[in-house]
Amino acid sequence: MAATPAGENALVHAATLVREAVPPIHPGGRPVIGAVAAAAGAARLLTGRGTGVGLLATGLTALFFRAPKRVPPPITGAVLAPADGTVALIEDVVPPPELDLPREPVARVSVFLSVLDVHVQRIPVHGRVRSLQYVPGVFLSADLDKASTDNERNAMVLETRTGHALGIVQIAGLLARRIVCSVAAGDEVAAGETYGLIRFGSRVDTYLPPGVRPQVAVGQRTIGGETPLAVLA
């Protein structure tokens, strides 16, 4: 069989590099991207203008819903950050009732996501989804402390194989109007895998098991599925 021309190999290699450099889009964002693209196309047909603005709006929307590949670190017992963002709060608090965890103070790490951050959420530990509870609420700015109790949110309890229970709460923000969660109670999940999405500005709270202390600081940047928030005993 004849060898493939060198020029073709170079093109295939370049295409592979480009494909690997462009992160995939979360399925929950595809309808929104399609709607923005359709609106931009309609505006172009009706006015004959706005091509550049329409392409920019579509591109920025696609960028918001990116879901880049992440590789969890080889740290036994690591509790990984469930989202990209900035550690906004670290406090000892009683978990909210919807988590159905013991009513005793535990460490809560709150990660705030700006509109420029990756907005998919990731599983922080290997384990099983013990429960899920959606709670309707208001849409205060997600960086406020009372957003944990007042805002629309989706609460999940994960149970590890070692018997630890963690609470992870997706919290809608000032601009967010939709929380997506793709797992169900009873599902076996792996650390680092994508499980949810919050559209346009939000926050994710992680409630650590009793006695487990955070290994991050307020103001620190986190990478979802890679940055260890804490290590289980």
Encode pLDDT of 113-156 as tens digits. Answer: 887 887 889 999 999 999 999 998 877 776 677 777 788 899 99
pLDDT tens per residue, range 53-95: 766 766 656 556 666 788 889 999 999 999 999 999 999 999 9
Residues of the chain with CATH 2.70.70.10: 78-231
Say what the pLDDT of residue 63 is: 59
Q: Is the per-residue pLDDT at 170 higher than 90?
A: yes
Say yes or no to pLDDT of 191 above 70.
yes
State mean pLDDT over 168-182. 80
Average model confidence (pLDDT) across the chain: 82
pTM over 0.75: yes
Residue 56: both structure tokens together: 């920019």
| 8 Å CB contact between 87 and 110 | yes
Active site residue 114: no
Distances (CA, A) of 34 to 27, 61, 76, 198, 221: 11, 10, 41, 18, 31
Mean pLDDT for 30-51 is 72
Token digits for 57? 């709006």
Mean pLDDT score, 28-55: 71
Position 143 scores a pLDDT of 67
Considering 110, 141, 182, 202, which one is annotated as catalytic? Answer: 202
State how far Cα 87 lies from the chain centre.
Answer: 14
- Rounded CA-CA distance 199/33 in Å is 12
For residue 197, what pLDDT is reported? 84
Taking phi over 0 as left and psi of -120 to 50 as alpha, with beta for the rest, 47 belongs to: alpha
Compute φ and ψ for 159, nearest 5 degrees.
-115, 125
Q: Find the radius of gyration of the CA atoms of the chain.
A: 20
CB atoms within 10 A of CB 83: 28
Phi, psi of 192 (to 5 degrees): 95, -15
Q: Which CATH class is domain 78-231?
A: mainly beta
